Chain A
Amino acid sequence: MSTAVLQLRDVHRTHGTGEAAVHALAGVTVSVHAGELVAVMGPSGSGKSTLLNLAGGLDSPDSGEVLVEDTALSTLRRPQLAALRRRSVGYVFQALNLLPSLTAAENVALPLELEGVSARKSRPLAEAALAEVELTGYADRFPDEMSGGQQQRVAIARALVGQRRLVLADEPTGALDSVTGEAVLRLLRARVDAGAAAVLVTHEARHAAWADRVIFLRDGRVVDASGPLTQPEQLLETAS
């Protein structure tokens, strides 16, 4: 199999101390490879969001190791970690976090410009990312001039711009109707099929079903994982 873009090795993370301590993750090992979409499911408080925060370097484990493209995040100093996050990792959250005073293209180009890419160079990249999410012609609109679904696609374009290798999505279809939600999953899937690795946290089974692998978390542990079927034709026979 191809190289793992994301690896969590025996990761533990506890929030709080003493009586109030919550073991958000209690020894989780997960690898996500290039071209693979992994969904994470589990009840509230099972550790889904903690897993995503650790994967994106927004939080660090108490023990265990998180590696992005073979770099252990614990070995990076703060500015290096920030650079890796900007360059390699794209985030799509339920809250879109679009800046209202910037146009669609400026929002999408923001991570590139923070990375030092000139506006002249980042603009065509942003336009290409907007085209990928079928928003050609919307580059100069402000968020409040767009529908919720369009804003979500801008947020996805921002997560995909500049060929990010790892995409982390937390309920990315949150407030969208089911058809628009499916369009979002289609985009995520297309980027993964083009070679990115992605982690999708969701409580919707129908959305998780777009993944190659579904990991079930409970009380901070992986209790099961559902990979691809070895004999899909069997399934169709039992469907009768």
Chain B
Amino acid sequence: MSIRHGLLALLERGPRYGYQLRAEFEDSTGSTWPLNIGQVYTTLNRLERDGLVRALPENDGGQRPYEITPDGRTELTLWFATPIARADRPRDELAIKLALALTTPGIDVQAVVQTQRTATMRALQEYTRLKRSDAELPWRLVLEAMIFQSEAELRWLDHCETALVRYDRPAPAPLPQHDDATREAEV
């Protein structure tokens, strides 16, 4: 998700200026994604450069509203119509961290798993607390997405831990060898 498309979606409702966009963006995501006003204006400038929005004359209050252009509308429609590709998401730092922890001497992988589990559990508790406090539907959907993601991460951590217990116990993990004989023995 980019701020670009979020702003385009809001401008589809009608012309708006920066502070309005920021307030509505935060409302529609239940403030789960706070924006600073600088990000809003930088994004608006880029959208204008790309011909997706157009600046309107300043109003009496000295605020400059923007409106969506036909190209902007096409871009927005395309965004809604296109599934988000897995490859577009940032690389999973946690998976990489665990993989490296396994092969780095002196690192207690179980402790790494537990540290992450506690942090993720804490996040899950907080999302659940927010959901309990009668969240409106749009925000609740955002919260539930985060709840399911945290839950998936915790399950995956459980899985990692089980795998560690199973494979690490026989011998104190030797440093991985790179000759083929060792690899075959592992299989």
Contact = CB atoms under 8 A, between A and B. Distances in A.
Contacts of A239: 32-33, 146
A170 B144 CA distance: 25
A237 B154 contact: no
B109 interface: no
B151 A206 contact: yes
Interface string B32-63: 11100000000000000000000000000000
Consensus secondary structure, chain A interface: mixed
A34 B162 CA distance: 35
Interface string B130-167: 00100000000000001100110011001001100000
Given A209-B147, A214-B121, A228-B125, A43 B114 contact: no
A225 B122 CA distance: 9
Interface string A202-240: 000110111110101000000111111100100111011
Contact of A208 (B34, B121, B161): B121
Contacts of A214: 121, 125
B118 interface: yes
A206 B114 contact: no
A223 B147 contact: no
A63 B47 CA distance: 69
A189 interface: yes
Contact of B34 (A205, A232, A237): A237
Given A189-B132, A236-B32, A239-B146, A205 B123 contact: no
B93 to A, nearest CB: 12
A186 B146 CA distance: 20
A31 B158 CA distance: 26
Contacts, number: 71
Contact of B147 (A206, A227, A237): A206
B75 interface: no
B68 interface: no
Interface residues of B, number: 28
B31 interface: yes
B127 to A, nearest CB: 7
B74 to A, nearest CB: 26
Nearest to A223: B114
Contacts of A232: 126, 129
A214 B129 CA distance: 14
A216 B125 contact: no
A209 B114 CA distance: 16
9 pairs of A and B residues whose beta carbons are closest in the complex: A209-B128, A205-B154, A209-B124, A226-B121, A240-B33, A226-B122, A226-B118, A209-B125, A224-B118
Interface of B: 31-34, 114-115, 117-119, 121-129, 132, 146-147, 150-151, 154-155, 158, 161-162
17 contacts: A205-B150, A205-B154, A205-B155, A206-B124, A209-B147, A214-B125, A216-B114, A216-B117, A216-B118, A224-B114, A224-B115, A226-B122, A227-B122, A229-B126, A235-B122, A236-B32, A236-B33
